[in-house]
Structure 1
Amino acid sequence: MSADFYDFSEQLARLKQQGLYRGRRVVDGPQGVLLRVDGRPVVNFCGNDYLGLANHPEVASAFKRAVDRYGVGSGSAHLICGHGSAHHALEQELAAFTGRERALLFSTGYMANLGVISALVGRGDAVFEDRLNHASLLDGGLLSRGQFKRFRHRDITDLAEKFGDRANKVLIVSDGVFSMDGDLADLPALAALAKRQRAGLFIDDAHGFGVLGKNGGGIVEHFGLTPCDVPILMGTLGKAFGTFGAFVAGSEELIEMLIQKARSYVFTTALPPAVAEATRVGLRLLQTESWRREKLAELVARFRAGAQQQGLRLMDSFTAIQPIPMGDSRRALAVSQALLHRGFWVSAIRPPTVPAGTARLRVTFSAEHDLQQVDGLLDALIGVMA
């Protein structure tokens, strides 16, 4: 007799035993560096609100005004009756910001990544991806009808060797800033290889926009590259922009192709227009308030210097993502919980989000943190890891 399909007790018990069980905590109040979590105050070191715009008064005011003008819901997909003037204005401003002909809004970054890869890759084509790419990029490659290959992390030589069995067309896909390691793709080398091989290049810069580059233009600006070097660029709006959603920027023909073929764009409801209006303000602040990036860099430098002084091992990252290797999932979870008891919320990142044996604490910084909070976190880390 077959097992009861709905009996999940053994699987759940095994996840708990391995330290891989995931739970949710309830946040009360707006996002920020000071949160109330499960009824207790904590300092938040696990969010992606890198520039502190999620609860910025100008962003919030723009959202409220837009609700009065547009209502709450968008009512339909972009291709039916859901594409409003707020969406259109934001797309134009994002295109100008990235130096590209056009930009296209998606409802989430996950949907943007699935949509791009499935629209541009078909049978007889191939997708080559960095082994540590975000799950949405990997899923896009797996769900595409093309051949799917992964290359060693940031290993251009290994990637070049994948071109031995040449497919019809090849799309190279990589994160810009790797979300769990905090390091950067070797974008100049990726761009050069893509040009030599006449391959496509798609970069997910979700964690680079706003943080990298003099004007917050992300990894492309950081390396001084051009739209010709990186023809397909994705960014999310729920991190440094402070709101919600995602976009893809590129040429006129690329965007038209996505409008025709990206199923996760065609067959889903558009973002609420009020979110688009709030994002327009976030985009302006992201570019004009450079002090936020400067403050973020100062906080990261303070943390890394303090960690080195205390003998605390960090991974090689200069971004707002500062992972602390733990190795064992149960240890990572225990340290995370001990920090929470001391008033600091730091996520324990465990498989399958990261490879087996590489569990870590993922410390993230916001421009809203202050130096005293960074020092407090360092003291707490030394105390719970001693």
Structure 2
Amino acid sequence: MAEGPFDWLDEHAWRRGRAGLTRTLRPRAADSPVLDLASNDYLGLTRHPRVTQGAASAALRWGAGATGSRLVTGTTALHAELEADLAAWCGAEAALVFSSGYAANMAAVTTLTGPGALLVSDAANHASLIDGCRLSRATTAVVPHADPEAVRKELAAHPGRAVVVTDGVFSVNGDLAPLRDLAGVCRRAGAGLLVDDAHGLGVVGERGTGAVAAAGLAGAPDVVTTAVLSKALGSQGGVVLGPARVIRHLVDNARTFIFDTALAPAAVGAALAALRLLREEPERPARAREVARDLSDRLAAAGLRTTVPAAAVVSVLAPSPQSAVEWAADCRARGVAVGCFRPPSVPDGLSRLRLTARADLTDDQIDRAVAVITTTAPTAP
């Protein structure tokens, strides 16, 4: 009997299982009592009454779906309002909203480069930037993490049109990219700088306007920012912010904009409400960063290997992929949900728990999280 076309998947799944790399979907209940240190709800806005009301009101007025792509029927007055508000808040000339952050990154990377161009990508960049580089058909140079000198050398070796791409806050370790230095390197070489600020928007900076603004680069003509509405703003979707001519180019050329159904009105309404709430309560970003530092300091004091957070992400290293999986499961069994990152999701190959701080966590909840994580920690071999 001939081998079936997908029989190889069984062997593949077995090998992943042996390596401790099997992933599992775990549906959560709406009223789950588990303490959440795994989501990206950095400001605690996903369930805020004003944000959920913003979603509900938008759905009731505009419908459950956007009905089409942005260039057909999918652009509502609400989409335009959100884009104007996001651009004003971040200090950008213009903004364009996408159905996801992944789609926004794919659009920006592929349409601002192409054959004959050079892309210089940080080794720790998010998968969406990496996929954008692969699909762009540009020459891609991957450089060591957070190394402006390595970027300078690559730009010098490849004269011509070039774009440097980097996370603003790196999603695994939570460290901040050296954006000022990178911008200087880019300007001396005549290259553009593209920053994915998904984990910085709403968290970094005095008002939470993000890593790009905090670096003094807001509104710069040679800097483009991508971000998401699904983390600090508690909604769904992505956005590209930058010069108006960049946004015009994306509208005309970005396949993930042209051929994708627009972001649903409920998500747009929720993001608008969250953005306005953040303007009224500017202390939320600082509180999220304070919680992250507290978690990092206390876990390190207990003898665990942690990262020093620049935003709201804290990594705690584990001895192996399997021990990370078991550690995360033990935490969940004791009522604390944490992220579990292991190869190939981590560029450095080191397995870890990934904790995300939230501005609405109480001191008692932080005490509980620290106690659970430390008492369930595996012993290094």
Q: Determine whether 1:340 maps to 2:332.
A: yes
Structure 1 unaligned spans of 5+: 30-34
Deviations 1:2-25 (A, max 9, x none): 743211111111111101111011
Alpha-carbon distance in structure 2 between the residues aligned to 1:2 and 1:232: 52
Alpha-carbon distance in structure 2 between the residues aligned to 1:144 and 1:286: 35
* Equivalent residue for 1:254, pick from 241, 246, 249: 246
Alpha-carbon distance in structure 1 between the residues aligned to 2:186 and 2:47: 40
2:196 matched residue in structure 1 = 204
Deviations 1:133-155 (A, max 9, x none): 00000000011111011100001
Alpha-carbon distance in structure 2 between the residues aligned to 1:148 and 1:50: 32
1:32 matched residue in structure 2 = none
Query: Which range moves more in the overlay, 157-166 or 86-95?
Result: 157-166
Task: Give the 3-state SS of the residue equivalent to 1:28 in structure 2.
Answer: coil
Contact 1:329 1:357 in 2 (8 A): no
1:183 matched residue in structure 2 = 175
Contact 2:113 2:138 in 1 (8 A): yes
Task: Give the 3-state SS of the residue equivalent to 1:174 in structure 2.
Answer: strand
Contact 1:125 1:146 in 2 (8 A): yes
Displacement after TM superposition at 1:171 (Å): 0.7
Alpha-carbon distance in structure 2 between the residues aligned to 1:277 and 1:80: 20
Query: Which range moves more in the overlay, 53-62 or 165-174?
Result: 165-174
Alpha-carbon distance in structure 2 between the residues aligned to 1:6 and 1:302: 48
Alpha-carbon distance in structure 2 between the residues aligned to 1:127 and 1:69: 43
2:145 matched residue in structure 1 = 153
Letter in 1 for 2:335: G
1:13 matched residue in structure 2 = 14
1:375 matched residue in structure 2 = 367
Alpha-carbon distance in structure 2 between the residues aligned to 1:90 and 1:188: 28
* Equivalent residue for 1:266, pick from 258, 270, 273: 258
Alpha-carbon distance in structure 1 between the residues aligned to 2:349 and 2:218: 38
The two structures have a TM-score, normalised by structure 1, of 0.94
Displacement after TM superposition at 1:229 (Å): 6.8
Contact 1:92 1:102 in 2 (8 A): yes
Q: Determine whether 1:82 maps to 2:83.
A: no
Contact 2:207 2:285 in 1 (8 A): no
Structure 2 unaligned spans of 5+: none
Contact 2:221 2:242 in 1 (8 A): no
Once the two structures are superposed, the pairs formed by residues 1-386 of structure 1 within 5 Å of their partners are 3-7=3-7, 8-29=9-30, 36=32, 41-228=33-220, 231-355=223-347, 357-385=349-377
Query: Number of paired residues?
Result: 377
Task: Give the 3-state SS of the residue equivalent to 1:286 in structure 2.
Answer: helix
Alpha-carbon distance in structure 2 between the residues aligned to 1:351 and 1:345: 20
- Cα 1:131–1:357 change in 2 (3 A) is closer
Alpha-carbon distance in structure 2 between the residues aligned to 1:249 and 1:301: 29
Displacement after TM superposition at 1:28 (Å): 1.3
- Cα 1:126–1:107 change in 2 (3 A) is same
Query: Which range moves more in the overlay, 336-345 or 293-302?
Result: 293-302
Task: Give the 3-state SS of the residue equivalent to 1:173 in structure 2.
Answer: strand
Letter in 1 for 2:75: H
Displacement after TM superposition at 1:168 (Å): 2.9
Task: Give the 3-state SS of the residue equivalent to 2:34 in structure 1.
Answer: strand
Task: Give the 3-state SS of the residue equivalent to 1:346 in structure 2.
Answer: strand
Alpha-carbon distance in structure 2 between the residues aligned to 1:176 and 1:356: 18
Deviations 1:223-246 (A, max 9, x none): 233321762011100000110001
Task: Give the 3-state SS of the residue equivalent to 1:202 in structure 2.
Answer: strand
Aligned Cα RMSD in Å?
1.6
- Cα 1:73–1:313 change in 2 (3 A) is same
Displacement after TM superposition at 1:101 (Å): 1.6
Q: Indicate the percent of aligned positions where both proteins have the same amino acid.
A: 35
Contact 1:66 1:277 in 2 (8 A): yes
Task: Give the 3-state SS of the residue equivalent to 2:340 in structure 1.
Answer: strand
Contact 1:210 1:287 in 2 (8 A): no
